[in-house]
Structure 1
Amino acid sequence: MMSAWALVMLIPATLKAQDTQKEAIDTTSVRRHHLQEVEVQRKLNRAMLLKQPFAVDAIDAGEYAAQNVNFNRLLDQAPGLRVRESGGFGSETAVSIHGISGRGIKFFLDGIPMDYMGGAFFINNFPVNVIDRVDIYKGVVPIALGGDALGGAINIVSRTEVEPYLNLSYALGSFGTHRASVSGRAQTKNGFVLQGNFFYNQSKNNYEVWGPGVEIPDEFGRPIEGFRAKRFNDDYTSYLGKVELGWTQRNWADKLLFGVNVSGLERGIQHGRTMAYVYGRARYEERGIMPTLQYSKANMWHGKLDVDVFGMYSNVDATTTDTSSNRFNWAGEALPSAVQGELSSIYSRKSIYHFYDRIHLWRAYSTLRLNEQSRLRLAWNGQWLGRRGKDDLNEAEWTIPLREPQQLNKNYIGLSYERDHGSFTHIVSAKGFYYDAESFAYSYQGNAQKQLIPLRENGLDWGMGYAGKYTVNESWMLKASAERSIRIPEGTELFGDGTTLLNAPGLKPEKSYNANLSSHWDWPLGATQKLQLVTALFFRDTRDLIWLGEADHLGTARYENLSRIQAKGFEINANYNWGSLLQLAVNYTLQDVRNRQRENSLAPYNARMKNMPVHLANAYLRLKSTGGWLPAERASFYLSTHYVHEYALFWPALGSPDQKNMIPTQFVQDMGISYRVSNPLTVALDCQNILDRQVYDNFMLQKPGRFLSVKLQYHINPK
């Protein structure tokens, strides 16, 4: 039997042969027509999503498919959202929505939690051209995204073409960066489908850094003025292959797919949680394999019931190697050291630490249509993580609590009722959370006898939520949502990451009261122009916030609970479209995050949160060719700008004003142009941080300067 991939390659040849017949088919116009259909469907899906009662934004990734745009950069344009990176390409990334940051923001891939998929699955690795849309929920999250998202959720929606296609892309950029991807789909007449994607990322990340933390002394022990260094142990490589096969559009299943994901990454560890602690030989590598099973069927039980089931088993093996006999400075010079190993500073010993994660994840989701106006939805999500570790050298104290078997069991169940009254739409939900965690604590206090202490935490809690929408008229819509939600600590927060994140046994779940209120205007301005304006207020009151703080080991950190944190603010987002020629978007967010714990607190009552920006703004402009000397839709140009006002690295209420460490104002511009040379081939040029600004993030960790890249994309769609 002919393979499905062979079928993909034969279809264009068949179409070419048909051109010789009397009634020839213009394949160029057919392809253009198909692309227009996909574009229209994408816009319809986005418009339907924005009409949900939830506080939700959507990014149409199709607009950026040809560009070499980093996925983090894409998210950073959304109002109320801030992407924070610890360095260059492949570095640790944290996302905050309305002041709630870190792992309180959950990531999903087609509705499946990404928490346990391994490092190669994280958002900054995904090429934009394999994504259809990005959904951003702020505050209340629908139960369909089964999980304990606290401050919001980001769902990456993969390409949804049902026709055969093959997409190839390759990008070359500054700092030794290479990105390649292959994705495709083929289907036979009996519904058998083969689809998959593969991507590969590599970067040296050898960009220049300077300023605080990047210092070397002269012969008199004073910092050398004007010193600049190139990062030298920050290279990064990752790959991910995903293949699915099965059946679609059959009487007994809309979708039955068996899949397997294979992933891996390797990177240098350049520094600790701040840039003051430089590492020259420490390395981290990870390998994973993940078989999956997915089944879905709509319109069961007299057309009233939809069912979607997903299961996976993940096997992730990781190794941290820290065997250097030297310290290093930012000049890359090895320095004599009496302490062996680089990680954990004064507690360092050489180590080759391995950890092995075995993960089970299962998800079931169903919708029951009670009548034309009412729906009942039920979701269940279970996750089990078992970790065991070993240290080949058995010398480093920091690995002692990580060598013991640890586990985390999480279960979530959600039930919602939706009622559509025409102008009014209401969604009421209830959520239940259960967890059981086993980990180990190890005392480092003074010269006292050190002891390994087993800890077990478990609990059951409930949350409630409401989301409502009122359509005033065709141009005006109001939304309101509120919830009490729970977030259970994740494996990385409890068990560490095997490098600069130490374990934090005994972390408590977060509890939060969230509320959103927004107004949406949509005004047509003539036949081809349209203006959209969204204004929103938000409020978050979080108990036991899980926050990444400084640990007792220099250069490392561990998660901790902050008793009570309150966030409030507003955002405004304006979008203007002039047909397909011009798209202009501007947004601004004010987020005021403060400590609201009066007693036994790390900071004064009502002190503004440390390491948290207050003012955020973005602007985006895109121009497309519409005909004339440049054919319609063939050329595209974009310009974007990102602004973050200066904010304090530590609690701003503490210390004298002249001694405060401030993260300076960030004002960065990006631009790019793409041109479709022919129907299959597109070429794009991009420049990020055009003015080569010095850009900081997190604990004043410096990000890359000017980044130039070129991308080639070849897309075959034989319809």
Structure 2
Amino acid sequence: MRNTCLILSLLLLSITAQGQNPTAQIKGIVLDENQEPLPGFTVRLKESDRGAITDLNGYFQIQNLKAGHHTLQLSGVGYQTKSLVRQLQKGQQLEIKVNMEVSTQEMNEVIVYGKSEARLIKEKGFAVNAIEAKDLEVQSIQVNDVLDQSAGVRIRQSGGMGSRVRYNINGLSGSSVKIFIDGIPIDNYGSSFSLNSIPTSMIKRIEVYKGVVPAELGGDAMGGAINVVTKNSTDNSLNVSYSYGSFNTHQASVNGVFRAKKSGLTTRASAFYNYSDNSYKVWGKNVYVVDERGKDQYVTAKRFHDSYESKGLKMDFGFTDKKWADQAFIGFLASDMRKDIQHATTMEIVYGNRWVGQSTQMLHATYVKKELLPGLDINAFASYSHLKRNLVDTVGYIYNWLGQRTINPNTGEYYTWLSGAEGGDSTLNIDYEKKYTGRLNFAYQLAANTRLSANWLTTHFERDSKDELDPELIQSLQDTRSLWKNLVGLALEQSAMDEKLKASVFYKFYAQKVGMNQPTLNRNNELVINSYDAQSQNSGYGMAFSYEVLPQSILLLSGENTIRMPNSRELFGDVSENVESSSSALKPERSINFNAGLNLGPYRFAVHSISLNTNVFYRRIQDRIMPGVPDQQDETFSYINVSSVLSTGFDTELMYGFKDLITWKSSFSLANPRFNTKYDANGSPYLYYGDRLRNEPYLTANSNLRFSQVDLIQKDARFSAFYNLGYVHEFYKNWPSIGGAGKDQIPSQLVHDLGISYTFPGEKITLSCDAKNILNEQVFDNWALQKPGRAFYGKITYNIF
């Protein structure tokens, strides 16, 4: 409440100050020839040498101007300088729109460098990686491949295409890391529409926030957040791509934008299709068959029941670049997925018939307007989604890793599971999930260097479950689960000292209500109804500062006291992924996060450039929510609270560039998350007090080298080649202090990737080829689950117009 009063007081003071000042102002937007915003451009008043820098959306504002003639000079790298003369009246608020023209003049001695959107984001004080996606759409790679090369980030995937992904940022993973698409939580779209499903041709930029997350992203992220910013160009375009590769993997996408210039009527459409057999080879101590003597014979086997197929369509209809709206859309999304399940939580138990399917339909509406009222920006989103998920497990044969049904040598009959199915009791379970989401974001420019923003996100989730194989008594009762969340964020941003100092303070409020009604039969065949109803309210707060000590040298500092509430999967379970319900036991997580960093560069020396970014972090988490550790024979697990976790560490990224030919980027990350509770509730000491968290990688490194050459082979053609080296240090599956010699350990991994692409003159057709894990390294992740080995992919991208 104290923080709220402070923000409201500042708001009243700023409004009062504005009301006493009838001076004029000039504000506007700077665009390129394609109507895309140009960030980091300089807008200077010739008479007074005052000015501004355009923000991420190309907007600028110059206040406290006297009446009379004013000459504006606009400039930026690669564009012709433009001058505009305007007459201002006393108290007038002039709005302008400027289209810059590309400069064709070669500059031999003087080069002017503007600030990219990624650069401006990094200057806000948060520990953030901003990844430009302009080179990604031509490669046969997915978004997760790109994120895995970013400093402080580790992508944890339990298999090939379509397998569950966990995002690890600075040693914290799972639901502590939230995923957004254009600021909207990705949970609304269903698992068939994921970061691995989104075509890279749709993406403009990827923002990775480590630890402290700004209030404008309206989720209860605690370990960090990933925000995928999609392209918003209104130019007519149509892009198609197709990729084929190892394990019978197909990926296709179509993206188009069509706009009527006169009316502003705009249609945006995208579609994708993904398929893979995921038939890669696996080997090791969990991959064996039992011979006729009952002995384990270790084999190298192909995954035989792991195919994945997903497809989706997203369409938006509305208006763009109108006086009453920058964007106003209604749209729908439909996606579908089918995934075979190869094994249980570990690789010890092999499946041959179990599979899961899912379909999602979503209706949504978006409204965006800069300067709806003087100084006021608004961004609104609302959606309704319906998800159907079905699990099919009705065949009880026992399989081995060669895809064979195992036979009893004494009777000649096939072995079967006593439960009647592979994952437990036979099931045709269907979950019906409904989710209502609303988000409203306001930003008000109080003064030239002060902005107040507010963000409200509300979600209501309902799940009904049915299984026609359940006893009639259970089917007659309703299995329902509900989750309601409200998240409110307030932020005040201020810049000073000629924009060398930037500061942001924010406040977050969280409210959640959980309900569950689950009928079951106990071991005595008696009806038991598990009911649960609880609600909670919490608050958090934080700050972020940046200071430009020297040109291109910026100090960063951020911290927050934050909350993450358990999500629907952690609370209610997910039978399709062997997750049991744990709603009556889970408590919210709370964390104190600090980041301190230094961004140096880019420094340019003739044809060379170099930059260095470092980040040191501290996380103290109470009631950390983590998956329980499954035993070798366990088929399911549930989420639990770990009393206290303390994580410290750092990450660093070094970048070098030579002309426009060579770029080299290397990163190193060390996280040290440790169990930090000494005694249990009974006063007994924990054996693993001070241990690193189980099943969590803590030391990773990446090195990426890219070469690009224009006019190679053909004039105006572009050739690119890249090489990436990824390293993950060994880590324990369970607590290091538990057990003796031979403890389960995920070994160190060193993976090499290569790729080339060639864009033909006219930039319409690009061919590319990618080779992943070229040395066929045995790569593991969650609970020692093996991921794909050597793989090759080819891709063609065609920009029709």
TM-score in same-fold range (> 0.5): yes
Aligned-partner Cα distance in 2 for 1:97–1:441: 35
2:17 equivalent in structure 1: none
| 8 Å CA contact 1:429, 1:465 repeated in 2 | yes
The superposition leaves residues 252-279 of structure 1 with CA deviations (integer Å, 9 ceiling, x where unpaired) of 1111101100001001011111000111
Cα 1:623–1:338 change in 2 (3 A) is closer
| 8 Å CA contact 2:180, 2:226 repeated in 1 | yes
The superposition leaves residues 355-412 of structure 1 with CA deviations (integer Å, 9 ceiling, x where unpaired) of 0001000000010100001000000000110000001100699x99996111000000
1:547 equivalent in structure 2: 626
| 8 Å CA contact 2:398, 2:422 repeated in 1 | no
Following superposition, the deviation at residue 561 of structure 1 comes to 1.0
Following superposition, the deviation at residue 456 of structure 1 comes to 1.4
| 8 Å CA contact 1:349, 1:395 repeated in 2 | no
- Is the counterpart of residue 566 in structure 1 residue 650 in structure 2? no
The superposition leaves residues 526-549 of structure 1 with CA deviations (integer Å, 9 ceiling, x where unpaired) of 233210101111011111111111
Cα 1:321–1:511 change in 2 (3 A) is same
1:354-503 aligned within 5 A = 354-394=430-470, 404-421=479-496, 422-440=499-517, 451-499=528-576, 500-503=578-581
1:328 equivalent in structure 2: 399
Aligned-partner Cα distance in 2 for 1:255–1:700: 46
1:351 equivalent in structure 2: 427
Aligned-partner Cα distance in 1 for 2:214–2:295: 56
**Structure 1: any 5+ residue segments left out of the alignment?**
1-32
Out of 771, 785, 788, the position equivalent to 1:687 is: 771
Aligned-partner Cα distance in 1 for 2:630–2:751: 32
1:4 equivalent in structure 2: none
Out of 700, 723, 726, the position equivalent to 1:639 is: 723
Cα 1:341–1:106 change in 2 (3 A) is farther
Aligned-partner Cα distance in 1 for 2:436–2:593: 30
| 8 Å CA contact 2:630, 2:637 repeated in 1 | yes
Following superposition, the deviation at residue 475 of structure 1 comes to 2.1
Aligned-partner Cα distance in 2 for 1:110–1:577: 30
Aligned-partner Cα distance in 2 for 1:119–1:255: 27
2:284 equivalent in structure 1: 211
- Is the counterpart of residue 337 in structure 1 residue 403 in structure 2? no
1:643-682 aligned within 5 A = 643-656=727-740, 658-679=741-762, 680-682=764-766
Which stretch shows the higher mean deviation, 48-57 or 692-701? 48-57
1:202 equivalent in structure 2: 275
Cα 1:448–1:237 change in 2 (3 A) is closer
| 8 Å CA contact 2:479, 2:518 repeated in 1 | no
Following superposition, the deviation at residue 35 of structure 1 comes to 14
| 8 Å CA contact 2:627, 2:638 repeated in 1 | yes
Aligned-partner Cα distance in 2 for 1:355–1:309: 30
Following superposition, the deviation at residue 633 of structure 1 comes to 5.9
Following superposition, the deviation at residue 70 of structure 1 comes to 2.2
- Is the counterpart of residue 530 in structure 1 residue 609 in structure 2? yes
Three-state SS of the structure 2 residue aligned to 1:608 is coil
Q: Which amino acid aligns with 2:795?
A: K
Following superposition, the deviation at residue 628 of structure 1 comes to 5.8
**Cα-Cα RMSD:** 2.4
Aligned-partner Cα distance in 2 for 1:438–1:41: 55
1:288 equivalent in structure 2: 360
Following superposition, the deviation at residue 443 of structure 1 comes to 8.7
Three-state SS of the structure 1 residue aligned to 2:175 is helix
Three-state SS of the structure 1 residue aligned to 2:373 is helix
| 8 Å CA contact 1:164, 1:187 repeated in 2 | yes
Three-state SS of the structure 2 residue aligned to 1:613 is coil
Out of 184, 191, 194, the position equivalent to 2:256 is: 184
Q: Which amino acid aligns with 1:423?
A: K
| 8 Å CA contact 1:401, 1:442 repeated in 2 | no
**Structure 2: any 5+ residue segments left out of the alignment?**
1-100, 105-111, 407-414
- Is the counterpart of residue 619 in structure 1 residue 739 in structure 2? no
1:4-23 aligned within 5 A = none
Aligned-partner Cα distance in 2 for 1:317–1:35: 53
Following superposition, the deviation at residue 283 of structure 1 comes to 1.0
Cα 1:671–1:631 change in 2 (3 A) is farther
Aligned-partner Cα distance in 1 for 2:527–2:286: 33
| 8 Å CA contact 1:441, 1:505 repeated in 2 | no
| 8 Å CA contact 1:68, 1:686 repeated in 2 | yes
The superposition leaves residues 531-585 of structure 1 with CA deviations (integer Å, 9 ceiling, x where unpaired) of 0101111011111111111369821111111111111001111011112100100
Aligned-partner Cα distance in 2 for 1:56–1:521: 14
Following superposition, the deviation at residue 88 of structure 1 comes to 0.4
Aligned-partner Cα distance in 2 for 1:52–1:343: 52
Three-state SS of the structure 1 residue aligned to 2:187 is coil
Aligned-partner Cα distance in 2 for 1:205–1:611: 24
| 8 Å CA contact 1:98, 1:591 repeated in 2 | yes
1:223 equivalent in structure 2: 296
1:251 equivalent in structure 2: 323
Aligned-partner Cα distance in 2 for 1:35–1:180: 36
Aligned-partner Cα distance in 1 for 2:611–2:519: 55
Out of 336, 340, 343, the position equivalent to 1:271 is: 343
| 8 Å CA contact 1:567, 1:594 repeated in 2 | yes
| 8 Å CA contact 1:545, 1:562 repeated in 2 | yes
Aligned-partner Cα distance in 1 for 2:234–2:600: 34
Cα 1:222–1:578 change in 2 (3 A) is same
| 8 Å CA contact 2:468, 2:475 repeated in 1 | no
Three-state SS of the structure 2 residue aligned to 1:65 is coil
Aligned-partner Cα distance in 2 for 1:219–1:323: 28
| 8 Å CA contact 2:508, 2:541 repeated in 1 | yes
Out of 784, 789, 793, the position equivalent to 1:700 is: 784
Aligned-partner Cα distance in 1 for 2:185–2:240: 27
Aligned-partner Cα distance in 2 for 1:259–1:70: 25
Cα 1:267–1:144 change in 2 (3 A) is same
2:147 equivalent in structure 1: 75
1:120 equivalent in structure 2: 192
Aligned-partner Cα distance in 2 for 1:126–1:117: 11
1:237 equivalent in structure 2: 309
Q: Which amino acid aligns with 2:315?
A: V
- Is the counterpart of residue 86 in structure 1 residue 86 in structure 2? no
Higher-helix-fraction structure? 1
Compare CA radii of gyration and give the structure with the larger one.
Answer: 2
Q: Which amino acid aligns with 2:244?
A: L
The superposition leaves residues 184-235 of structure 1 with CA deviations (integer Å, 9 ceiling, x where unpaired) of 101102111011100000001111111021111222222214x111111110
Out of 554, 577, 583, the position equivalent to 2:663 is: 583
- Is the counterpart of residue 313 in structure 1 residue 376 in structure 2? no
Task: State the aligned residue count.
Answer: 676
Relative contact order higher in (CA < 8 Å, ≥ 6 apart): 1
Q: With the length of structure 1 as denominator, give the TM-score of the two structures.
A: 0.90
Cα 1:194–1:34 change in 2 (3 A) is farther
Aligned-partner Cα distance in 2 for 1:43–1:475: 11
| 8 Å CA contact 1:603, 1:651 repeated in 2 | no
Aligned residues with identical type, % of pairs: 34
Cα 1:695–1:41 change in 2 (3 A) is farther
Following superposition, the deviation at residue 325 of structure 1 comes to 2.6
Following superposition, the deviation at residue 317 of structure 1 comes to 0.6
Cα 1:401–1:432 change in 2 (3 A) is farther
| 8 Å CA contact 1:551, 1:558 repeated in 2 | no
| 8 Å CA contact 2:395, 2:422 repeated in 1 | no
Aligned-partner Cα distance in 2 for 1:531–1:42: 16
Cα 1:400–1:590 change in 2 (3 A) is farther
